[in-house]
Amino acid sequence: MVTKPSRPAKKGEKFIVRGREYCYECIDNSECLGCHKKISERKFAQSVHGANSCNSCHYDITDINVHARTKGARIHAEPVTCHRCHKKEGAAHYASAHFLNDIQCTDCHQKIHEITPWKGDKVRVVKTCTTCHSDDGYSESVHGKAVLEGNPDSAACSDCHGLHKIPLLKGDEPKTAEFRKEFHTEVCQKCHADKEMMERNKVFLIAT
């Protein structure tokens, strides 16, 4: 046995964390899905995590019989577990306004067992963000209407605010106010200073 690795462990590898035994992919999915019937085996197999075993995330479950008797072990849904594999996204999340406000991975990625590749689908991003944030007139704006009509050039929430490294914009402190001013200038120029994109969409080019 080894101490908990910083990388995803090898299949069947056991390791110790604070005196407790964990195991990576030691239990077959069929044993889990036999009881957890609310999870669709078909949808899970088609998801981005479909090649993983249940035990690759729920790695504290080392004995299926003990797990069944105790009615569940600790469920690993907090960022520290997702970040074991999603390191880049994890680093961005730790530096975000979401992290500072205790927004966890599963608050946005709610159907964790059914997540499919997003493939740049901006409508999907908007739907996810507006689960918590008010639409605030976005869907009726020039950007919102174009996104909903399928224009990949138009700005969705993430084009301005990012996907995982969401900047903190609230506050009246001088540094925050100055950052907010620079932030809005930079995100607008990201698209509106792009000559090809503006010509393609018949929009005037802004001065940089």
pLDDT in tens, 9-41: 565 666 666 566 666 667 888 888 888 899 999
Residue partners of 120: CB distance under 8 A and separation at least 6: 152
pTM, whole model, 2 decimals?
A: 0.74
**DSSP 8-state symbol, 174:** H
- Residues 134-162 have pLDDT tens digits of 888 999 999 999 999 999 999 999 999 99
| Phi (first) and psi of residue 163, to 5 degrees | -90, -45
Q: Does residue 176 come out as left (phi exceeding 0), alpha (psi in the -120 to 50 range) or beta? A: alpha
Token pair for 138? 């976005």
Measured from the Cβ of residue 192, the count of other Cβ atoms closer than 10 Å reads 17
